[in-house]
Copies of this chain bind each other. A is one copy, B any other.
């Protein structure tokens, strides 16, 4: 099967205690699709500016990611600049230059309108809804969001949530969205907003998944070499959705396995800046890391 993602394709400038990156390849849809491309054909809906380097497009094409839905608009590409402290959980946004992102109107290609799996990466929930408006064959729809939209565009977000099957957010976002600090209570409140399945990302601690009365706790793999956490959550969602798209399944057992593949991809992604670590992974590396996760959690 195939997987369509709408989100940002950006230039990222990142500083961490382990180095820095100046206008490298970034964006939610970029990390997502690079990760998902190891599992399934991916098709991208995004916007870039005239300054966007051809080499980045070449990388995405080489990963067999369909770029027909990527619009190039006059002006500069979306640029994010951030800095991580010694404790990599602490990030500071130094600049957010939206540029062409301000003009973004997602336009799904005829093929994308028939996608069986759709992921709405972190963008304005109104744009996420516009993408849903265009699909024609009732795909499995999952989405991400962030504090900025939860606080600033709550109604648009609630409208979008009614129309999706799965929400993938982090702990802080879950608490903010539900207005409830207890995660178990929050998980019930959020699922009443629409998505039947809720995935709560917990960074180095792994992830929780909620479906009906079931709960799954995915372990976090302790890592020695983390250079740049940017895109960890997007590559996680990419592995998860990529696996579902590959298998064509949406049951909770498959989602659990997808979460582990997502964790695998995120664990690689953070080991280098930008999407570097997702450039040349082998199937064997992915399978071995999956087994590492299995052994980690087995008792």
Contacts and interface: CB of A to CB of B under 8 A. Distances in A.
A22 interface: no
Contact of A222 (B183, B205, B259, B294): B183
Given A296-B217, A299-B216, A299-B256, A208 B222 contact: yes
A246 to B, nearest CB: 16
Given A205-B202, A224-B185, A299 B260 contact: yes
Nearest to A224: B184
Interface in A173-190: 181-185, 187
A220 to B, nearest CB: 7
Interface string A258-281: 011000000000000000000000
A219 B217 contact: yes
A16 to B, nearest CB: 13
Interface residues of A, number: 36
Contacts of A299: 216, 218, 253, 256-257, 259-260, 294, 297
A206 interface: yes
Contact of A217 (B185, B206, B253): B206
Nearest to A254: B299
27 contacts: A86-B181, A183-B222, A184-B223, A184-B224, A187-B222, A205-B205, A205-B206, A206-B217, A206-B219, A208-B222, A214-B295, A215-B221, A215-B296, A216-B296, A216-B298, A217-B219, A217-B220, A217-B297, A218-B299, A219-B219, A219-B297, A253-B299, A256-B299, A257-B299, A259-B299, A294-B299, A297-B297
| Chain copies in complex | 2
Interface of A is mostly: mixed
Contacts of A86: 181
A158 to B, nearest CB: 24
Given A208-B222, A214-B295, 12 more contacts: A184-B223, A206-B219, A215-B222, A216-B298, A216-B299, A217-B296, A217-B297, A219-B297, A253-B299, A256-B298, A256-B299, A294-B299
A1 B217 CA distance: 33
A55 interface: no
A103 interface: no
